[in-house]
Chains A and B, each alone.
Chain A
Amino acid sequence: MLVEYKKLLKNKNFYLVFFTLVLIVIIAAFTGVYTHKEEYQLIQKIYEKDENVLSLVSPHKQWVGFSGASNLASSLYYFIFPALISIALVDSIFRERISGNQNYMFLRMSRKKYYTVKFVTTYITAFLFFVLPLFLGIVLVNLLTNQWDYTTYATSYKSLVEGTIILPDNVFAGDIKVLFSDLLIMSPYVYIAFYYVLGGLFASGYICMGLALSMFIKNHYLVIFMPQIIYIACWGLLTVLGKPQWDPFNLINPRQSLEQLSITAIVVTLLLQHFIAFVIYSMGMRRNRDVL
């Protein structure tokens, strides 16, 4: 395990990918804060300092992922993360097989241990790659708007869900989430942390699927792009088939832009994805048994 991390730290793609992800998040945070300021002034002008309305305009809506289509860098992050993360991680087995380093490793440790360590390292690193820049984005938005406490929003949201808040019109009716509304009532932090962890699990699943497929594919370029290809192909096919509620692209989106979302879909898709990744990986292990 330690050896794997030493290898990762010597890989210059590792730093490149991490800084690109952080850069996208920084751009998203700055544009988000700008949008928030404009929106706040506009709402202040329109509703003449109605406190109920103003409490619903909160900077947490500009956290990466929450801001959605209006914030370009945020949607770019959610579109391209499999490709970016896989540049650093997916080809680790592939490169060692091509260069012959794998034979060298098999002399020192058992084959089973080698593959297990690779899988676990890739899984954990992909998860951190997805999640860490996003949490950095939260901190950045909070620093720029100087707001850390979201209890006002949580209480207003609670009364919005219950229908007891007095509002001049129903502009904010779209704010009510279909799923996990309780978490948002508890605190926006809990809600977003849940979604980021969910996204991280999906991201790790994709990257591990790519790692498993790298034992079957001979082309380096294709190996790197496999997670992104699966991600986009799923998105396209499920949209065309009319079942977008089963698509990870929509499931990991904290904005919940679809109406037919359900918890079963999330659980089933996540388990299915990990199961497929695991099966392909063990098939690949068995296939490459006779290296020596």
Chain B
Amino acid sequence: MFYKFLKYSIQDIQLKKNLFIMVILFIMTMMLFAIIPSHTMILTRWHSVKDFMLLFRYEYFHLPIFLVLLGTFSETNDWTLLRRYTHRQQIAWQKICLVFTVTAILTLIITLGSTFSTYLVKLLIFPINTNYSALFLYIPESVSEGSLLYFIYMYFSLTAISGLLFIVLQQLLKSNFISTIIIMCVVILDQMTISIVPTFFYKSEFTSPISSFLMLVAIIILLTNYIHYLVNKLDFYVRDDK
């Protein structure tokens, strides 16, 4: 059953593959320009792949890209809905599946891109040019080690949660762009006030890895159920079609 939803998600992505390719190229350009030793402006120092990924601020770079992609892919028209599904449950599962597919692909691309750039600096640029200075200055000695796998899991689940929240708001408000803006604002405000997202990224690994792991899983399950509930209540007859 899930194979079918995965197929539909990939179909949704394939329908807008030009945008997808442009986004990938944009990410790659940003990462390559950030490591090429061309200018004297230095923002911060970094050591590992994890540092490098987080230097492109999560709330200004990763999340807007993700939401733009997700919002574009989730604009299916009514004929596609009619052709694909017979039950409301299937629509809900497909939305959830789309979120996870987009998250997985984006995580994969960003991880591979940063790993590639990091190794390029470590193995090629830094040994040749020792007084290396780029936008993000590479420091060979590490300050604090962290597990990359754990970080990728955190990245994946936080992005997936924001995607699921996007679907929830989309069902409640019936508007893709307003829900995107709400989520972007909430994450930016969170970064400046309570900072839940940075806590998960930087601290949770050393203080409470297992409980935060389980907490994220619990939130994902709750949101999944809530999306099912909302889609079951969806009223197709009173829709404001613009």
Q: Give A contacts to B, CB under 8 Å.
A: 16, 72, 76, 79-80, 83-84, 87, 95, 98-99, 219-222, 224-225, 228-229, 232-233, 236-237, 239-242, 244
Q: Which of B33, B177, B242 contacts A240 (CB 8 A)?
A: B33
By the criterion CB–CB under 8 Å, are A229 and B68 in contact? yes
Q: Which of A84, A98, A242 has the most CB of B within 10 A?
A: A242
Q: Which of B26, B33, B68, B185 contacts A80 (CB 8 A)?
A: B185
By the criterion CB–CB under 8 Å, are B192 and A72 in contact? yes
Residues of A within 8 A of B34 (CB): 240
Sample of 13 more A-B contacts, CB < 8 Å, known A229-B68, A242-B38: A72-B192, A80-B184, A219-B16, A221-B71, A222-B72, A225-B71, A225-B180, A232-B64, A233-B26, A236-B30, A236-B60, A240-B33, A241-B38
B85 close to chain A: CB less than 8 A:
no
By the criterion CB–CB under 8 Å, are B178 and A87 in contact? yes
By the criterion CB–CB under 8 Å, are A221 and B188 in contact? no
B181 close to chain A: CB less than 8 A:
yes
B147 close to chain A: CB less than 8 A:
no
Q: Which of B30, B71, B185 contacts A76 (CB 8 A)?
A: B185
Known pairs A76-B189, A87-B178; A239 contacts B16 (CB<8 A): no
Residues of A within 8 A of B242 (CB): 95, 98-99
B150 close to chain A: CB less than 8 A:
no
User: How many B residues are at the interface, by size bracket?
Assistant: 20 to 34
Report the bound CA distance from A241 to B68 in whole Å.
24
Q: Which of A76, A87, A228, A241 contacts B188 (CB 8 A)?
A: A76
By the criterion CB–CB under 8 Å, are A83 and B188 in contact? no
B94 close to chain A: CB less than 8 A:
no
Report the bound CA distance from A232 to B16 in whole Å.
21
Report the bound CA distance from A232 to B60 in whole Å.
8
Query: Looking across the interface, which residue of chain B has its beta carbon closest to that of A235?
Result: B60
By the criterion CB–CB under 8 Å, are A222 and B181 in contact? no
B75 close to chain A: CB less than 8 A:
yes
Q: Give B contacts to A, CB under 8 Å.
A: 16, 19, 26, 29-30, 33-34, 38-41, 56, 60-61, 64, 68, 71-72, 75, 135, 176-178, 180-181, 184-185, 188-189, 192-193, 242
Q: How far is the CB of B33 from chain A (nearest CB, A)?
A: 4
A-B pairs with beta carbons under 8 A, tally: 70
Q: Which of B41, B60, B177 has the most CB of A within 10 A?
A: B177
Residues of B within 8 A of A236 (CB): 30, 56, 60-61
By the criterion CB–CB under 8 Å, are A237 and B68 in contact? no
Residues of B within 8 A of A240 (CB): 30, 33-34, 135
Q: How far is the CB of A34 from chain B (nearest CB, A)?
A: 15
A-B contact pairs, 17 of them (CB 8 A): A16-B178, A72-B192, A76-B185, A76-B189, A80-B185, A99-B242, A219-B16, A221-B71, A222-B68, A222-B72, A224-B177, A225-B180, A232-B60, A237-B29, A237-B33, A240-B33, A242-B38
Known pairs A237-B30, A241-B33; A80 contacts B64 (CB<8 A): no
Report the bound CA distance from A95 to B240 in whole Å.
13
By the criterion CB–CB under 8 Å, are B177 and A221 in contact? yes
In order of increasing CB-CB distance, the 8 nearest A-B pairs are A242-B39, A240-B33, A224-B177, A221-B71, A72-B192, A221-B176, A242-B41, A240-B34
Residues of A within 8 A of B180 (CB): 83, 225
By the criterion CB–CB under 8 Å, are B135 and A79 in contact? no
Report the bound CA distance from A241 to B135 in whole Å.
8
Residues of B within 8 A of A224 (CB): 177
Q: How far is the CB of B140 from chain A (nearest CB, A)?
A: 22
Residues of B within 8 A of A241 (CB): 33, 38-39
By the criterion CB–CB under 8 Å, are A84 and B75 in contact? no
Report the bound CA distance from A80 to B41 in whole Å.
26
Report the bound CA distance from A220 to B56 in whole Å.
28
Residues of B within 8 A of A99 (CB): 242
Report the bound CA distance from A21 to B37 in whole Å.
40
Q: How far is the CB of B37 from chain A (nearest CB, A)?
A: 11
Residues of B within 8 A of A233 (CB): 26
By the criterion CB–CB under 8 Å, are B181 and A83 in contact? yes
Residues of B within 8 A of A219 (CB): 16, 19, 72, 75
